[in-house]
Amino acid sequence: MASASRPPHGYARRLPSRTASTTDPSPPGGHSKMMQRLIFEPEHEQFRDMVRRFFQKEIGPHTARWREQGHVDRWAYQKAGELGLLLMWAGEAYGGAGIDDFRYEQIVSEENIRHGDIGFYINLHSGLVAPYIAGLGTEEQKQRWLPGCAKGDKILAIALTEPGAGSDLAGMRTTAVDNGDHWVLNGSKTYISNGQLADIVIVAAKTSTTESHRIGLFVIEAGAAGFERGTRLKKMGLHAQDTSELFFKDVKVPKNQVLGEPEKGFHYLTNFLSGERLIVAVSSMAQSQTAFDLTLEFARDRRAFGRAIGKFQNTRFVLADLRARIDAMQTFVDQCVMLHNQKELTSEVAASAKYLASELENDVMDACVQIHGGAGYMEEYRISRMFTDARVSRIFAGSSEIMKEIIGRSLGLDERKLN
Ligand SMILES: Cc1cc2nc3c(=O)[nH]c(=O)nc-3n(C[C@H](O)[C@H](O)[C@H](O)COP(=O)(O)OP(=O)(O)OC[C@H]3O[C@@H](n4cnc5c(N)ncnc54)[C@H](O)[C@@H]3O)c2cc1C
C-alpha cells in the first residue's frame, strides 16, 4: 500500500522517513515528555513490556493487510488468548486470570493502539461484551461461553443499534416474543462491530409491545437458524474493523440464552455502559499520545525555510498546547480507571471522561495533520489514518451530545426540581 502512493523522487528526500514516524513512535515516557503517570506499579510496567512485544511482533506486521481486507484475522484473538490477554478479569474457572484490575485492560488498549491497530477490537471483546455474560449470566451460561472467549476461539459482539434507533434505544423495533420454552426474535441491527467475525452476539430486543423500556438481552450464536449477516459496511476509517448489519428472522432463542431478567435490559445497559465509555476514553488518550509522538518526530525532521518546522514558534505553541491538554486529560482518565477499580465510577463521570477525551482526540488529530502538511493527507502517513479513525469516537458508545445529557441530568436542573 505504501509504495503505491510513494511521493515523487526528490520530494521524498525532503520528507521525514515514514517508517520511523508512521508505525512505531516512542513509548510512553520516551522523548515525548509525557507527564509521569502515577497509577502503575512495577508489575504493570513488566506486563506492559510483555504486551508491547506481543503487539510489535505478532500484530503490527499484519495491520496494513487487515485494513485492506476489512477485518482482522481470527488467529489474532487466539494468539492474544494464548498469552492470557483476553478476559484477564474473569475467574480461572472461566479461563481468565482472576485479575480484577482495569489497569491491565488499559495497558492492552494502549499498546494495541501504539503498536498494533485500533481496528483489532480486543477491548470490545474482553472489556465490553464479555462482562455482560460474567455479570448477568447463570453459572451454566458462564461455563458455556466464557472459556471459549478467553481462549479467543469465540469472538464477541453486542448489537443494540438499529437503522431507526441509536441514541434513542427506546425506539428499537427488534422484538422478542415469549413462546413457551423459547423466545422468537425478529428485527435488524446495524453498525455492529465484529459483525462479520462474531461467534456470539448479545442482541437487545423489546419484550413488551406496550412498554418501550422493557428490553431483554439475548445471546445468539453463529449458525442459529434465521440469523444472517449483511455485507461489511464501508466506513470513513477503522478499516481493519468489520462493521455490519445483522438480521434476525424468526430466530428461536432457548430460554437459557437470556442474560438476566428479560425486561431489565435498560437497567443492565446503564450499568455496563460506564465501562464501555471508560474504554473509549482510554483508547482516545492512547490515540492522542501516539499522534502527538509521531508529530513531534515529524516536526524535528521536516524542514522548511532552511530550518526544522519545529523551530517555528507556531509549531512549538501548537505542540505545547496539545502536550498540556493530553497530560491533564490523561490524569483525569487514569483517575477514572482507579475509580472503576473501586467500583465507584459513576455514569456521569464516565460520560465526562468519554466526552472530553474523544473531543480532545479529534482536536489532536486535526492539529497533528496540519503540522504534517500535505504528508498528513497521504494515507501512507499514519496520522492521516488516525484522523479518520478518530472521528467515530465522538459518535459511538454514546455521542458527545448524549454524554452531555447524562452529565447534565446529574446536576439537579431538570424541570421538576426547578420551579
Ligand atoms: C464504527 C461504528 C461502530 C459501532 N459499533 C456498534 C456496536 O458494536 N454495537 C452497537 O449497538 N452499536 C454500534 N455503533 C452504533 C453507535 O453506537 C451509534 O451510531 C451511536 O449511538 C449514535 O446513534 P445513531 O447513529 O443512531 O445517531 P442518532 O441517534 O440518530 O443521532 C444523530 C445526531 O443527533 C444527536 N442527538 C440524538 N439524540 C440527541 C439528544 N437527545 N440531544 C441532542 N442531540 C441528540 C446525536 O448526538 C447525533 O449528533 C457503532 C457505530 C459506528 C459508527
Instruction: State whether 249 and 274 are in the same domain.
Output: no
Instruction: State whether 198 and 123 are in the same domain.
Output: no
The CATH number linked to 224 is 2.40.110.10
Active site residues: 276
Residue 308 backbone dihedrals phi, psi, to 5 degrees: -65, 140
Protein residue with its CA nearest to atom 31 in ligand 1: 167
Instruction: State whether 257 and 286 are in the same domain.
Output: no
Instruction: State whether 138 and 196 are in the same domain.
Output: no
End residue of a domain, out of 220, 241, 263: 263
Q: Residues for the chain: how many in total?
A: 419
Which three cell numbers, joined as nine digits, stand for 371? 503540522
Instruction: State whether 178 and 133 are in the same domain.
Output: no
419 inside domain: no
The CATH number linked to 309 is 1.20.140.10
Q: How many C-beta neighbours within 10 Å does residue 358 have?
A: 30
List CB contacts of 349: < 8 A, sequence separation 6 or more: 336, 339
CA–centroid distance for 374 within its chain: 28
The 3 state secondary structure assigned to 224-292 is CCCEEEEEECCCCCCCCCCEEEEEEEEEEEEHHHEECCCCEHHHHHHHHHHHHHHHHHHHHHHHHHHHH
Q: Which residue from 395, 406, 407 has its CB within 8 A of the most atoms of ligand 1, so it is best to mutate?
A: 395
End residue of a domain, out of 263, 293, 310: 263
The angle, 0 to 180 degrees and rounded to 10, between the axes of the packed helices 102-115 and 265-301 is: 40
List CB contacts of 393: < 8 A, sequence separation 6 or more: 280, 283, 284, 287, 357, 358, 361, 362
Residue bearing cell 499514519? 382
Q: Is the CB of 231 under 6 A from ligand 1?
A: no
Instruction: State whether 283 and 235 are in the same domain.
Output: no
Distance of CA 67 to CAs 53, 81, 191, 234, 239, Å?
Answer: 21, 22, 17, 12, 5
* Ligand 1 nearest atom to the CA of residue 401, by list position: 47
Protein residue with its CA nearest to atom 2 in ligand 1: 191
Residue bearing cell 474457572? 93
Secondary-structure percent of the chain, ordered helix, strand, coil, rounded to 5: 55, 15, 30
Task: With H, G, I as helix, E, B as strand and everything else as coil, classify residue 61.
Answer: helix
End residue of a domain, out of 217, 242, 263: 263
Note the pLDDT of residue 34: 86
pLDDT (tens place) for every residue of the chain, 419 residues total? 333 333 333 333 344 544 333 445 554 444 567 899 999 999 999 999 999 999 999 999 999 999 999 999 999 999 999 999 999 999 999 999 999 999 999 999 999 999 998 889 999 999 999 999 999 999 999 999 999 999 999 999 999 999 999 999 989 999 999 999 999 999 999 999 999 999 999 999 999 988 878 999 999 999 999 999 999 999 999 999 999 999 999 999 999 999 999 999 999 998 898 899 999 999 999 999 999 999 999 999 999 999 999 999 999 999 999 999 999 999 999 999 999 999 999 999 999 999 999 999 999 999 999 999 999 999 999 999 999 999 999 999 999 999 999 999 999 987 666 66
Contact 208, 162 (CB under 8 A): no
Instruction: State whether 101 and 166 are in the same domain.
Output: no
Report the b/e string of 306-330 with b at 16+ CB within 10 A: eeebbeeeebeebbeebbebbeebb
Which three cell numbers, joined as nine digits, stand for 415? 424541570
4 inside domain: no
Instruction: State whether 176 and 256 are in the same domain.
Output: yes
Q: Which domain holds residue 194?
A: 156-263
244 inside domain: yes
Contact 157, 200 (CB under 8 A): yes
Distance CA 357, CA 351 (A): 10
Note the pLDDT of residue 419: 60
For residue 177, how far is its CA from the centre of ligand 1 (angstroms)? 26
416 inside domain: no
For residue 171, how far is its CA from the centre of ligand 1 (angstroms)? 13
Note the pLDDT of residue 11: 35
For residue 395, how far is its CA from the centre of ligand 1 (angstroms)? 6
Instruction: State whether 133 and 175 are in the same domain.
Output: no
233 inside domain: yes
**Four-CA torsion 288, 289, 291, 296, nearest 10 degrees:** 140
Protein residue with its CA nearest to atom 4 in ligand 1: 191
113 inside domain: yes
* Number of domains observed in the structure of the chain: 3
218 inside domain: yes
Q: Is the CB of 161 under 6 A from ligand 1?
A: yes
For residue 67, how far is its CA from the centre of ligand 1 (angstroms)? 23
Instruction: State whether 63 and 174 are in the same domain.
Output: no
Q: Is the CB of 238 under 6 A from ligand 1?
A: yes
Distance CA 159, CA 185 (A): 13
Instruction: State whether 272 and 396 are in the same domain.
Output: yes
Q: What is the DSSP letter of 200?
A: E
Q: Is the CB of 233 under 6 A from ligand 1?
A: no
Q: Is the CB of 160 under 6 A from ligand 1?
A: yes
The CATH number linked to 86 is 1.10.540.10
Instruction: State whether 41 and 125 are in the same domain.
Output: yes
Q: Which residue from 191, 234, 359 has its CB within 8 A of the most atoms of ligand 1, so it is best to mutate?
A: 191
Note the pLDDT of residue 33: 74
Protein residue with its CA nearest to atom 36 in ligand 1: 401
Protein residue with its CA nearest to atom 48 in ligand 1: 399
Burial status of residue 348 (CB atoms within 10 A of its CB: 0-12, 13-18, 19 or more) = middle
* Ligand 1 nearest atom to the CA of residue 189, by list position: 11
8 inside domain: no
